[in-house]
Chains A and B, each alone.
Chain A
Amino acid sequence: MGTRLPLTSVVRNLPEMVPFVGPETFERRQGRALRVRLGANESVFGISPVAAEAMSAAAAKAWMYNDPEAYDLTEALAQAHGVPQTHVQVGAGIDELLGLLVRVFADVGEPVVMSDGSYPTFAYHVVGHGARLVGVDYQNGHVDLAAMADRARTEQARLVYMANPDNPMGSWCAARQIEHFVDAVGEDCIVILDEAYADFAPTEAIVPVLPLRPNLVRTRTFSKAHGMAGARVGYLLADPSIVEILGRVRNQFGVNRIAQAGALASLSDAGFVHRVVESVTVGRQQLSALAERLGLSCLPSATNFVNIDVGDGERARQILQQLLERDIFVRMPSKPPGDRCIRVTIGHAEDHEILIDALAEILNGLPG
């Protein structure tokens, strides 16, 4: 009945993409568990024990609806960032918030600008809502802010997206450049500044929260440094008018009760997050050193992952496939210039060693 489904024109025209393939799907296909899971930039350092305890307690009240306003969590986030609550919106992960932003700012056919090959889920939302994706090339592995601003102006785009630090490149732009960029695109254009990896970035990369710019929306997550990817909690900081409008269109109960409690507790455990960030920094150096021993260089990273340069896209694809055959899950950037790399999440030392050993073996079997 495929062709007879009365789909809207937007959905009918979506590319024939396979549904998103997660690591569990790989495991089911292989019929066994992964040995090393370093593909999704999850934190191997787990969650705060304070958060675990809070979630355990919240589970006893699972029969009750969650607070649709996520009041306590929103208040705590507002305090943490020194802004009023009206500037904060919590969502079921950054992904949900990105979808909502596309929905309120980009009409069918309208241009939305992002770096070509940057965060695929944002691109998925743009296409899924029928807007038009306008890609701008990276420059030397960095988001090309000048070219992005030019493109946003010539296209008269109302929405641009950048991740800082960038995923998948791992690079970062300085706060001052970003502020300049936000001004340069013009007040009619909203800049989404995705700061999923901000916890791992140097302070020079972080735009001060105040003063808030009405056309700047910043997204943050509990999935990375807080180690709570499975709970689905993200939030954004934005002008109150944007928060208000998202309140009209969002899934009111989208952040479940247990997740709200866990995020709130994790936020109070600053020492935990600090230790995770330190461990990631050490892990980045360790992994880079191991890669260098194989004669491979790594791109500089301000995130919890490292891109190991294996020469070209074809080699990267082959390596990825062969790693998977050895039950090692990593990913690779989808487009140039990043696609000459495999992207490896920072793991424990032993994860790195298993990966590097496998990599050495695979490289031996590949032609020059």
Chain B
Amino acid sequence: MPQKAPKFLDHIERMAGYIPGEQPRQADIVKLNTNENPYPPPPSVLERVREAATQDLRKYPDAAASGVRERLSRLLGGSPDNFVIGNGSDELLNVILRCFAGPGDLVTFPWPTYPYYDKLIDLQQAKPHPVPLDDDFQVAIDDLVHPESRITLLANPNSPTGIGLSRESIDELASRCSGILVVDEAYVDFSAGGAIEIAQKHPHVIVTRTLSKSFSLAGVRVGFAYAHPTLIAGLWKVKEHYNVSSLSQVAAEAALDDIDVMRVNAERIIATRMRLSNELRTRGFFVWSSEANFVLARIPVGDAGHVGDAQPLFEALKERGYLVRHYGQQPRLSDCLRISIGSDEQIDGLLDTLDHVVEGD
């Protein structure tokens, strides 16, 4: 009987996997590492999911996710044909890369940003063109415009910085960039931004969003893309038929029907974000001005003025039950922590713990 290892395609064999943020298995840890929403979705979500998790679950989901698309078009403009729904926006990014970036094609994106982009580019054997953020972690539009680029990926607000790019700048980028411009708006509801109007003007712009963050539905997996119907029809050609479960569709419908709950939650998170930012600054951290549901904070420079490493602080917080995000020895980020905005109580606890750690308690 043969026992030889299976032979994978070379580029698959070579590529590294994406490592998602840690999902700890112990229940008592305060998770401030993957930008989940501390406030629950509307109770109607629970009711609708309970109804769906009965005998009707035997049916395959609606392949078109029509209920979700209709609601989105009512809330955000356009028609249902402007929308496609994905198993998280991750799936849609994957579909977009498959549609527009083949082997050797250039894909441009600011760096650092959402690390998943890199993986999707590898998977397509496309050529990544990371453009470093400037010294203040701002996106430099001029550098982002490349005549051979097939796709430009712009997370806005960006992660892990939380910094948003103005609508005027995105409009300018849309006018100047070649190929497709994807504006990944996972965190848009915590900002004053939003590029859907720009996508209405430019048929090569795709806006992606998710219900994971502002809508408190990370575990349910619903993302969507807005673009010109021709472009949406192209994405439709390669997506999984039954990509969004019935449970996810009804949860999304309920959350969209009760959108005020999301808005109130987002307001609370924005208020807490401002408070956390100020508290950290008082403690000597440098905190970038965030438009997302997290902040990026550089730890105080030590007495000797050496470049800091946030790893020990990350570990100390984790030991005391607070999990935040550290990017290891990644250049420009090793002295930073990304902290998701939890409830006020969680953030108070984090600040107390931080004070204890600093005092060497």
Contacts and interface: CB of A to CB of B under 8 A. Distances in A.
Interface of A: 1-2, 5-11, 14, 17, 19-25, 28, 37, 40, 42-47, 51-52, 55-56, 58-69, 71, 92-93, 95-96, 99, 103-108, 121, 124, 128, 158, 183, 186-188, 190, 211, 213-215, 223, 227-232, 239, 241-242, 245, 247-249, 251-254, 256-259, 262
Given A247-B17, A253-B221, A8 B245 contact: no
Contacts of A60: 40, 46
B278 interface: no
Contact of B247 (A24, A103, A230, A242): A230
Interface stretch (B235-243, B326-334, B347-355): B235-243
B58 A253 contact: no
A37 B62 CA distance: 13
Given A14-B237, A55-B247, 20 more contacts: A8-B105, A19-B64, A24-B66, A46-B54, A46-B55, A47-B58, A52-B57, A56-B50, A62-B45, A62-B46, A62-B216, A63-B41, A92-B240, A108-B103, A211-B1, A214-B3, A227-B55, A229-B58, A239-B6, A256-B87
B240 A63 contact: no
Contacts of B20: 68, 252-253
A60 B13 CA distance: 39
B179 interface: yes
B18 A66 contact: no
A45 B55 CA distance: 8
A254 B91 contact: yes
Contacts of A247: 17
A182 B87 CA distance: 33
Interface of B: 1-9, 12-13, 15-18, 20-21, 23, 25, 31, 34, 36-41, 45-46, 49-50, 52-64, 66, 87-88, 90-91, 94, 98-103, 105, 119, 123-124, 150, 179-180, 203-204, 212, 216-221, 228, 230-231, 233-234, 236-238, 240-248, 251
16 contacts: A1-B230, A24-B62, A46-B57, A55-B247, A67-B23, A71-B25, A121-B241, A215-B6, A227-B58, A230-B246, A232-B242, A245-B8, A248-B119, A249-B12, A251-B94, A253-B88
Contacts of A8: 98-102, 105, 124
A296 to B, nearest CB: 27
B4 A214 contact: yes
A30 B54 CA distance: 26
Contact of A24 (B63, B237, B243): B63
Nearest to B47: A59
A249 B13 CA distance: 10
B58 A230 contact: yes
B45 A59 contact: yes
A364 to B, nearest CB: 31
